[in-house]
């Protein structure tokens, strides 16, 4: 199903890091990051209840609530409900709020999740809603059962809300390609904008090019790309796709760095331009807790990159020959 959303600069602020992902982010640092994004002209913000058990939504709401709601686009996610009950945390958001989180893709759960998000965000509406982590990387073999729950619950609710004009678009927000592919081929549901994290990036895109990208383009809707640096791996970080980086991935990143050095190119520039070059992509959301990073990202999208850089990546089979490159988008 086609949507006519236009996202300014094709760039948005992703707020997973602001939910204290991997570390305890001081409140002042989080506020400055959001404010800096606004000051630089960013007008699309993505968040989720899962990010620090509501912490990212609360922080985002503190800043955005002082601006005219018609001036920006806001997306959050459904599938997890933040409870009042608390527990000790571990994993991605061990430094987030201690509230327990309950997985729920039903109709009632979806409506409750949206209502709770609106309160935390201090707003009266969401523009886009993504069904979150309905995917084997989070749910294992149970993902098929949960997908069926969503198909009969969340998908129907979000289709109705979109058709009624309550939201502008909906889709899935996942770190694998299969759930988006399956959802796009359903007859009874019509997702028109999904958030694909880690899967259509400079470092990892072969699988996405097989089915997800063509299906998204054919549907007339589109994709928002998250984690374009694969959790920072491409930029020399210690994580790849939200896990500790492996020696094999590090070696692959080294090969990208060699080509970049040959042509005087920054990998951040190349990564953002690669992910936004495909016609199915509406925007990339980048997450950070550093106020100056969003300015870097905007500059990266405008940087001059020689055609020889892309040619060498394809020649060395680091980038698929089927990929749509920035030079000929």
Per DSSP, the residues of 74-100 read EEEEESEEEEEEE----STTTTS--EE
For residue 291, being part of any structural domain is answered with: yes
Residue 328's alpha-carbon distances to 46, 208, 307, 323, 324, in angstroms, are 29, 19, 9, 10, 7
Catalytic hit among 44, 51, 105, 130: 51
Q: What sign does the CA torsion over 244, 247, 250, 252 have?
A: negative
User: Would residue 1 count as lying in a domain?
Assistant: no
What six digits make up the tokens of 186? 């359903």
Strand spans (E) along 116-188:
128-132, 169-174
Residue 180 token pair: 């988006």
Task: Provide the domain count of the chain.
Answer: 1
What integer pLDDT is reported at residue 2 of this predicted model?
64
287: which strand partners? 14
Q: What share of the chain is helix, strand, coil (3-state, %, to 5)?
A: 45, 15, 40
pTM metric for this prediction: 0.95
β-strand partners of 239: 244
CA–CA dist 107, 79 (Å, integer): 10
Give dist(CA 137, CA 135) in Å, integer. 6
Q: Give the domain extent around 204.
A: 8-328
Residue 51 designated active-site = yes
Tell me the C-alpha distance between 15 and 161, whole Å. 24
Q: Is residue 264 one of the residues assigned to a domain?
A: yes
Instruction: Give the number of C-alpha atoms closer than 13 A to the C-alpha of residue 283, restricted to the C-beta side.
Output: 25
Residue 2 counted as domain residue:
no
Identify whether 3 is part of a domain. no
Q: What is the pLDDT of residue 243?
A: 84
Q: Which of 117, 104, 111 is nearest to 47 (CA)?
A: 117
Task: Give the pLDDT confidence score for residue 328 in this predicted structure.
Answer: 46
Domain assignment present for residue 44? The answer is yes
- Give me the CATH number covering residue 53: 3.20.20.100
Residues of the chain with pLDDT under 50: 328-329
In percent, the amount of the chain with pLDDT more than 90 equals 89
Dist CA 286 CA 292 (whole Å): 12
Q: Give the pLDDT confidence of 162-212 residue by residue, as tens digits.
A: 999 999 999 999 999 999 999 999 999 999 999 999 999 999 999 999 999
Can you tell me which residue has the tokens 């399956």? Answer: 182
Cα–Cα distances in angstroms (integers) from residue 110 to residues 113, 132, 158, 288, in the given order:
5, 11, 8, 28
């Amino acid at each position: 199903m086609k949507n006519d959303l236009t996202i300014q600069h094709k760039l948005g602020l992703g707020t997973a890091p602001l939910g204290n992902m991997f570390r305890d982010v001081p409140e002042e640092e989080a506020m400055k990051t959001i404010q800096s994004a606004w000051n630089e002209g960013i007008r699309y913000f993505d968040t989720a209840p899962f990010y620090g058990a509501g912490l990212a939504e609360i922080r985002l709401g503190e800043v955005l609530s002082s601006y005219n709601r018609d001036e920006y686009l806001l997306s959050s996610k459904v599938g997890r409900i933040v409870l009042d009950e608390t527990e000790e945390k571990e994993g991605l958001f061990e430094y987030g709020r201690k509230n327990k989180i309950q997985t729920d893709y039903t109709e009632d759960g979806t409506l409750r999740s949206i209502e709770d998000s609106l309160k935390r965000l201090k707003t009266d509406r969401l523009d886009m809603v993504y069904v979150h982590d309905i995917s084997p990387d989070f749910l294992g073999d149970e993902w098929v059962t949960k997908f069926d729950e969503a198909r009969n619950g969340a998908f129907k609710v979000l289709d109705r809300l979109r058709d009624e004009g309550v939201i502008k678009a909906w889709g899935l927000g996942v770190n694998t390609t299969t759930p988006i592919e399956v959802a796009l081929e359903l007859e009874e549901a019509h997702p028109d904008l999904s958030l694909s994290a880690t899967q259509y990036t400079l470092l990892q895109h072969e699988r996405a090019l097989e089915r997800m990208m063509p299906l998204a383009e054919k549907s007339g809707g589109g994709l928002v790309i998250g984690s374009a640096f694969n959790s920072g791996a491409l930029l020399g970080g210690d994580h790849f796709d939200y896990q500790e980086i492996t020696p094999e991935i590090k070696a692959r990143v080294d090969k990208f760095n060699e080509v970049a050095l040959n042509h005087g190119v920054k990998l951040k520039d190349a990564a953002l331009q690669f992910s936004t070059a495909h016609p199915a992509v509406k925007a990339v959301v980048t997450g950070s807790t550093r106020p100056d990073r969003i300015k870097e990202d905007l500059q990266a999208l405008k940087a001059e990159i020689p055609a020889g850089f892309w040619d060498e990546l394809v020649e060395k089979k680091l980038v698929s020959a089927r990929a749509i490159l920035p030079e000929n988008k």
